[in-house]
Amino acid sequence: MPETGWAGPGGRLSGLGVSQGRAAGPLVRMAGPPSLPAPRPVADPEAEAATAVKALEAVTADLNRRAAAARTGASAGAGGGGGAGAGGEAAEILEALAMIADDPMLREEAETRARGGADAAHALEAAFDGHRDALAALGGYLAERAADLDDLKHRAVAAALGLPMPGLPDPGHPYVLVAGDLSPADTAGLGPDVLALITERGGPTSHTAILARARGLPAVVACPAVADVPDGTIVGVDGASGEIALGLTPEQAAEVMERDRAERARLAAATGPGRTADGHPVRLLANIGSAADLRPGAEGVGLFRTEFLFLDRKQPPSPEEQTAAYAEVFERAEGPVIVRTLDAGTDKPLPFLGLPEEPNPALGVRGLRVDRLLPGVLDAQLAAIAEAARATGADVRVMAPMVTTPAEAAGFARRARAAGIAQVGVMVEVPAAALRAAELLREVDFLSIGTNDLAQYTFAADRQHPALADLLDPRQPALLGLIEACAAAGREAGKPVGVCGEAAGDPAVAPLLVGLGVTSLSMAPSCVPLVREALAGLTLEECRELAREALA
């Protein structure tokens, strides 16, 4: 790797850097579902039947191997499996899928179809589709498993065609993962072998970006050209600048990894509360999705995204399961924990809620609005949070996402307090809420500005859209003006106003937010050291000057 530029002997690509840090390793692509070629004439039906059976065996063996890896806490790498803290559950899911792939009825059906003249891939397709329709007709829980059969079918067809199986790869060595895009469940299932992420699509506040930061993985999104880089090419990824160096040697890759380790160690050596150079305190808090994301160094948890616990679920979590998940975080976190109630919808689908499809999901029933259709969900969650807080004695606060009016804030505060939670806040993610910040603060104890959604709704720009990244830049003056208005309302009311969107973890933006008057910054734990360093280098007046310039 040349000192001066982030390019390799094979040149460079660039995308949007969304998660700081550098890493290098061989590129491995996540395969999509195989496309089924046209049926081909079959000369030897017995050979086709044998190929179909072999494909089913390969799928079963692969799932069982991943299940075993998930159980031992090693890299399972399977879609939806292997997430830290969820190894046992992931293993059970993978074993259940392996049993379906190993079902003798499925195998016989595929063999019969092949002996009847279908090629192996089409015989498998027809056998799985028959099975799927039978399950769907049964309704209820079994019908929900029909989607799993599609995933298994894609795996079996890929195996029969000699293609890589779809889903997260598991090459057995550290690698840089490349994908068209990653679902929240894919990202949650990433194993420890993944060194960095590159996606063709995705935006700066997409959940790929958020989860990459939570894991401290360098990540570049919105890089369509990576589609043409061959598998196995050694690439270097700079998650800050968004540059990708192509064709490194193994020695250059090792050097990149070593420098990144040294830089992380240097930053982690600085500890203590957040302060500007002249001692103005700014609380540095962590954004987490589960206890597995907790790291030492932050002054508390400013955003506990509870929906990440339940993303893949088709059944609602029981009260006991919810309480246990919250209690695990409360026990292990240092400092106060702000729990955000479920934020379902659009980019965070929660199938267990069974919400109807909507033509405009980002503008529909999401966040706190789900309470309009399913009031029991919020009360059950508040009760579980309150129970976990009582059991652990932790300093627990709650806030609601996607609050739009002071009346919604008042309703949420009343119910949270009735559940026994004293400190209640709301997120400011919608311009209407920012414009009424003072009125919101009459109802609640604090505001937390979600700049990811506030930018999306202020600029009418989909937060996942790579072509609109300039509109989603947190330095846009219109966005900064709304943040300033919220901070001013907080000063007036004597109540804290923080930022918990991705902007808070950007060392170039955090000082500006402090200059606008926000009192805390909540970010991916991996960003805390960089932001601490950035604030320590500037006085409060210098931060204010940066804010004035940016607003202008």
What b-and-e string marks burial along 469-496, b requiring 16 or more CB atoms within 10 Å of the CB? bebbebebeebbebbbbbbebbeebebb
Using CA atoms, how far apart are residues 544 and 539, in angstroms rounded to an integer? 9
Using CA atoms, how far apart are residues 155 and 24, in angstroms rounded to an integer? 29
Query: Are the C-beta atoms of 486 and 452 separated by less than 8 Å?
Result: no
DSSP label of 318: P
Using CA atoms, how far apart are residues 460 and 238, in angstroms rounded to an integer? 29
Q: What would you report as the CA-atom Rg of the chain, rounded to the nearest whole angstrom?
A: 25
Segment interacting with ligand PEP (CB under 6 A) among 86-94, 413-421, 448-456, 477-485: 448-456
Query: Are the C-beta atoms of 98 and 60 separated by less than 8 Å?
Result: yes
Q: Shortest Cβ distance from residue 416 to Mg ion (Å)?
A: 18
Strand partners, 238: 22, 243
Residue 511 interacts with which of Mg ion, ligand PEP, none, CB < 5 to 8 Å by class = none
Q: Which is nearer to Mg ion, 226 or 504 (CB)?
A: 504
Q: Does 450 bind Mg ion (CB under 5 A)?
A: yes
Q: Name the residue whose CB lies closest to ligand PEP.
A: 450
Structure tokens that stand for 87 in this block: 């190894």
Strand partners, 304: 288, 339
- Asked if residue 452 belongs to a known ligand binding site, the reply is yes
Q: Which is nearer to ligand PEP, 109 or 429 (CB)?
A: 429
Strand partners, 23: 237
**Ordered DSSP codes for 117-154:** T--HHHHHHHHHHHHHHHHHHH-HHHHHTHHHHHHHHH
Using CA atoms, how far apart are residues 63 and 43, in angstroms rounded to an integer? 31
- Asked if residue 453 belongs to a known ligand binding site, the reply is yes
Contact with ligand PEP (CB under 6 A) among 51, 208, 451, 519:
451
Q: Does 307 bind Mg ion (CB under 5 A)?
A: no
Q: Which is nearer to ligand PEP, 75 or 448 (CB)?
A: 448
Strand partners, 220: 17, 198
* Site for Mg ion, residues 77 to 106, rule: CB under 5 A: none
* Site for Mg ion, residues 171 to 190, rule: CB under 5 A: none
Contact with ligand PEP (CB under 6 A) among 125, 260, 429, 443:
429
Phi, psi of 11 (to 5 degrees): 95, -160
Give 162-194 as a 3 state SS string: CCCCCECCCCCCCEEEEECCCCHHHHHCCCCCE
Contact with ligand PEP (CB under 6 A) among 208, 276, 341, 452:
452
Q: Does 347 bind Mg ion (CB under 5 A)?
A: no
Helix (H, G, I), strand (E, B) or coil at 234: strand
Q: Shortest Cβ distance from residue 123 to Mg ion (Å)?
A: 46
Segment interacting with ligand PEP (CB under 6 A) among 124-132, 350-358, 444-452, 464-472: 444-452
Q: Shortest Cβ distance from residue 247 to ligand PEP (Å)?
A: 35
Q: Does 343 bind ligand PEP (CB under 6 A)?
A: yes
Residue 341 interacts with which of ligand PEP, Mg ion, none, CB < 5 to 8 Å by class = none
Number of residues that bind ligand PEP (CB under 6 A): 11
Q: Does 453 bind Mg ion (CB under 5 A)?
A: yes
Segment interacting with Mg ion (CB under 5 A) among 243-251, 273-281, 424-432, 537-545: 424-432
Q: Which long-range contacts (CB under 8 A, 24 or more apart) does 464-470 make?
A: 464/201, 464/202, 464/203, 464/205, 464/206, 464/347, 465/203, 466/16, 466/201, 466/202, 466/203, 466/221, 466/222, 468/203, 469/16, 469/203, 469/204, 469/222
Using CA atoms, how far apart are residues 453 and 449, in angstroms rounded to an integer? 9
Contact with ligand PEP (CB under 6 A) among 69, 355, 433, 500:
500
Q: Shortest Cβ distance from residue 453 to Mg ion (Å)?
A: 4
Window 6-35: contact mask with ligand PEP (x via CB under 6 A):
------------------------------
Segment interacting with ligand PEP (CB under 6 A) among 156-164, 239-247, 450-458, 532-540: 450-458
* Site for ligand PEP, residues 276 to 305, rule: CB under 6 A: 303, 305
Segment interacting with Mg ion (CB under 5 A) among 77-85, 253-261, 442-450, 464-472: 442-450
- Asked if residue 305 belongs to a known ligand binding site, the reply is yes
Q: Does 62 bind ligand PEP (CB under 6 A)?
A: no
Q: Which is nearer to ligand PEP, 308 or 326 (CB)?
A: 308
- Asked if residue 429 belongs to a known ligand binding site, the reply is yes
Residues with catalytic roles: 207, 500
Query: Are the C-beta atoms of 306 and 277 separated by less than 8 Å?
Result: no
* Site for ligand PEP, residues 197 to 216, rule: CB under 6 A: 210
Q: Does 501 bind ligand PEP (CB under 6 A)?
A: yes
Neighbours of 393 (CB within 10 A): 9
Number of residues that bind Mg ion (CB under 5 A): 3
Residue 520 interacts with which of Mg ion, ligand PEP, none, CB < 5 to 8 Å by class = none
Q: Does 312 bind ligand PEP (CB under 6 A)?
A: no
Contact with ligand PEP (CB under 6 A) among 125, 453, 484, 506:
453
Neighbours of 40 (CB within 10 A): 12
Q: Which is nearer to ligand PEP, 303 or 527 (CB)?
A: 303
Beta strand pairing status for 175-179 and 22-29?
A: parallel
Q: Shortest Cβ distance from residue 308 to Mg ion (Å)?
A: 13
Structure tokens that stand for 278 in this block: 């002249």
Residue 474 interacts with which of ligand PEP, Mg ion, none, CB < 5 to 8 Å by class = none
| Side-chain-side CA neighbours of residue 250 (13 Å) | 2
Neighbours of 51 (CB within 10 A): 21
Give one word for 13, left, alpha or beta, with left for phi > 0 and alpha for psi -120 to 50: beta
Beta strand pairing status for 16-19 and 219-221?
A: antiparallel
Residue 305 interacts with which of Mg ion, ligand PEP, none, CB < 5 to 8 Å by class = ligand PEP
The binding site for phosphoenolpyruvate comprises 305, 340, 452-453, 463
The binding site for Mg(2+) comprises 429, 453
Residues that bind ligand PEP (CB under 6 A): 210, 303, 305, 343, 429, 450-453, 500-501
